[in-house]
């Protein structure tokens, strides 16, 4: 929706050809998917569990500062692994093909206050289908921020750097509220909706369990190390939240990423859908360790094109995808983490102020407002 459409040079035929080429990349991975991939995810899960176990064990003695540091660092990494490379990807169905009921999108539960079931709906279904479509994809600013010039400015947005900072610190709660569509559902009439109440109850249960574990049981087990362990688990959650928030912000917010109008996706073809995913996502460049710690969401573009391919394959897929970007003369938005984080934050600050150019309401958006 920027002034210049970066895909304007492509003919409809070219876009469909691009779609076929992407399908071919996908088919290649699926045909080759097998034992090695299964061994990979099993190894990661087992490593995560061992790391968490050892870290929690070390934290039993967190009264000693070196133990506190080591345990907190280990637990932070374990929580990041659980949420990113394991949880996010399993819940996408990336490993369903293994037919292992213990590593399956229908049974997996993660170390997060948002229950898997609810997250799958808002993330897999809404965000991945309607990526970056204003009014359809609430991931665009999570409903609390303005991340594109075409979104209407409101004085509330003046505070968005602060909202974004708070959201980063308590990201898992932000996501839970977001999955619940809390803002929309707190209206008097909607609050009583039994379906909403059931979902809210599920979130409450999950929060209770998570809080009890991290802030009561484990500190209690630590005895004299009660307070240091409490601080350690709080820190680990904070680190995990800030890290995941940063990575996720880099996926769709940096400069150069496109957003789309609701009208533009009417009757969208497969090729056009692919093109929207390509233009609506951004990558993070870096080392293997970096890709691992982001759950391979550093390959956000590839993830959005093929959300159900095993994450360990995104790196090899990226080479082919990037070649297509070049072939079709499209911009592959990528950069190192600090640059992308800065770019995303810069946008958050910039758009907290109104635009110079007054916004023109499209009939489509007006209808939306009436409907809302």
Partner 1 sequence: MTSTALRSRAWKLLEMVTTPLLPSDYLDLVSPLRAGADLRGRIEAVHPETGDAATIVIRPGRGWRGHTAGQYVRIGVDVDGVRLWRAYSLTSPTDRQDGRVTITVKAIPDGKVSNHLVRRAKPGTLIQLDQPTGDFVLPEAKPAKVLYLTAGSGITPVMGMLRDTEFDDVVMVHCAPQPHDVIFRDELHDLVADKKLRLTEVHTDTDGMLDIARLDELVPDWAERETWACGPAGLLDAAEEHWSQHGVHERLHTERFRPSIVVTGDGGEVTFSATGKSVDADGATPLLDVGEEAGVLMPSGCRMGICFGCVTPLKAGAVRDLRTGEITEAEPGVLIQTCVSAAAGPCDIER
Whole-number minimum distance, CB 263 to partner 1, in Å?
19
| Spatial distance between the Cα atoms of 310 and 300, rounded to a whole number of angstroms | 13
Whole-number minimum distance, CB 254 to partner 1, in Å?
23
- By CB under 8 A, tell whether 178 contacts partner 1: no
Select from 307, 335, 341, 347 the one that contacts partner 1 (CB under 8 A): 307
Query: Which candidate, 320, 336, 347, 330, places its Cα nearest to that of 277?
Result: 330
Token pair, residue 64, equals 């000693």
**Alpha-carbon distances of 276 from 17, 90, 170, 264, 318, rounded to whole Å:** 15, 24, 30, 10, 17
Q: Which of residues 39-68 bind partner 1 (CB under 8 A)?
A: 39, 46, 49-50, 53
Whole-number minimum distance, CB 355 to partner 1, in Å?
32
Whole-number minimum distance, CB 128 to partner 1, in Å?
6
Q: Helices then strands (H, E): number in the chain? A: 19, 0
Q: What is the dihedral of CA 107, 108, 114, 115, to 10 degrees?
A: 20
Nearer to partner 1 among residue 168 and residue 309 (C-beta)? 309
* In contact, 281 and 252? CB cutoff 8 Å: yes
Whole-number minimum distance, CB 236 to partner 1, in Å?
15
* In contact, 340 and 254? CB cutoff 8 Å: yes
DSSP state of 155: G
Q: Which of residues 239-278 bind partner 1 (CB under 8 A)?
A: 273
Size of the site for partner 1 (CB under 8 A): 46
Whole-number minimum distance, CB 112 to partner 1, in Å?
8
Q: Which of residues 13-32 bind partner 1 (CB under 8 A)?
A: 23, 27, 30
Helix H or strand E encompassing 119: helix 116-119
- By CB under 8 A, tell whether 302 contacts partner 1: no
Select from 21, 54, 63, 93 the one that contacts partner 1 (CB under 8 A): 93
Select from 9, 20, 43, 121 the one that contacts partner 1 (CB under 8 A): 121
- By CB under 8 A, tell whether 109 contacts partner 1: yes
Select from 128, 262, 322, 339 the one that contacts partner 1 (CB under 8 A): 128
The stretches of 253-360 forming alpha helices (DSSP H) are 270-279, 288-293, 300-305, 314-327, 337-350
**How does DSSP assign 178-243, residue by residue?**
HHTTHHHHTSHHHHT-HHHHHHHHHHHHHHHHHHHIIIIIHHHHTGGGHHHHHHHHHHHHHHHHHH
Whole-number minimum distance, CB 212 to partner 1, in Å?
6
Stretch that binds partner 1, among 33-41, 165-173, 238-246, 253-261 (CB under 8 A): 33-41
Stretch that binds partner 1, among 4-12, 121-129, 154-162, 247-255 (CB under 8 A): 121-129
Whole-number minimum distance, CB 183 to partner 1, in Å?
22
Query: Which candidate, 119, 59, 92, places its Cα nearest to that of 296?
Result: 92
| Spatial distance between the Cα atoms of 314 and 321, rounded to a whole number of angstroms | 10
Q: What is the dihedral of CA 258, 264, 269, 273, to 10 degrees?
A: 20
Nearer to partner 1 among residue 121 and residue 346 (C-beta)? 121
| Spatial distance between the Cα atoms of 126 and 110, rounded to a whole number of angstroms | 20
Residues at the site binding partner 1, with contacts judged by CB under 8 A:
23, 27, 30, 33-39, 46, 49-50, 53, 92-93, 96-102, 104-106, 109-111, 120-121, 124-125, 128-129, 206, 209-210, 212-213, 217-218, 221, 273, 307-308
């Amino acid at each position: 929706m920027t002034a210049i459409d970066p895909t304007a040079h492509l003919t409809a035929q070219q876009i469909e050809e691009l779609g076929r080429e992407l399908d071919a990349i996908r088919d290649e991975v699926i045909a080759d998917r097998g034992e090695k991939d299964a061994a990979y995810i099993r190894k990661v899960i087992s490593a995560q569990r061992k790391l968490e176990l050892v870290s929690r064990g070390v934290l039993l003695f967190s009264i000693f500062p070196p133990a506190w540091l080591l345990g907190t660092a280990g637990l932070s990494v374990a929580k990041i692994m659980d949420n990113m490379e394991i949880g996010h990807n399993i819940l996408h169905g990336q490993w369903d093909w293994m037919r292992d009921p213990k590593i399956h999108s229908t049974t997996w539960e993660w170390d997060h206050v948002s229950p898997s079931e609810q997250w799958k709906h808002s993330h897999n279904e809404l965000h991945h289908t309607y990526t970056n479509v204003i009014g359809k994809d609430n991931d665009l600013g999570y409903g609390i921020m303005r991340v594109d010039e075409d979104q209407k400015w409101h004085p509330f947005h003046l505070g968005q750097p602060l909202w974004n900072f708070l959201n980063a610190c308590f990201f898992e709660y932000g996501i839970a509220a977001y999955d619940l569509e809390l803002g929309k559902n707190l209206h008097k009439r909607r609050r009583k909706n039994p379906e909403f109440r059931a979902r809210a109850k599920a979130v409450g249960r999950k929060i209770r369990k998570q809080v009890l574990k991290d802030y009561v049981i484990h500190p209690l087990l630590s005895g004299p190390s009660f307070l240091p362990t409490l601080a350690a688990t709080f820190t680990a959650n904070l680190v995990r939240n800030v890290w995941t928030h940063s990575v996720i912000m880099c996926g769709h917010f940096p400069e150069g990423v496109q957003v789309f109008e609701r009208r533009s996706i009417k009757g969208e073809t497969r090729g056009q859908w692919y093109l929207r995913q390509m233009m609506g996502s951004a990558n993070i460049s870096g080392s293997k360790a970096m890709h691992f710690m982001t759950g391979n969401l550093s390959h956000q573009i590839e993830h959005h094109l093929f959300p159900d391919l095993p994450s360990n394959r995104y790196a090899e897929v990226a080479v082919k995808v990037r070649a297509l970007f070049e072939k079709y003369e499209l911009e592959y938005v990528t950069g190192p983490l600090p640059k992308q984080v800065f770019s995303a934050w810069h946008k958050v600050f910039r758009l907290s102020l109104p635009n110079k150019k007054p916004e023109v309401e499209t009939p489509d958006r007006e209808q939306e407002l009436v409907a809302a």
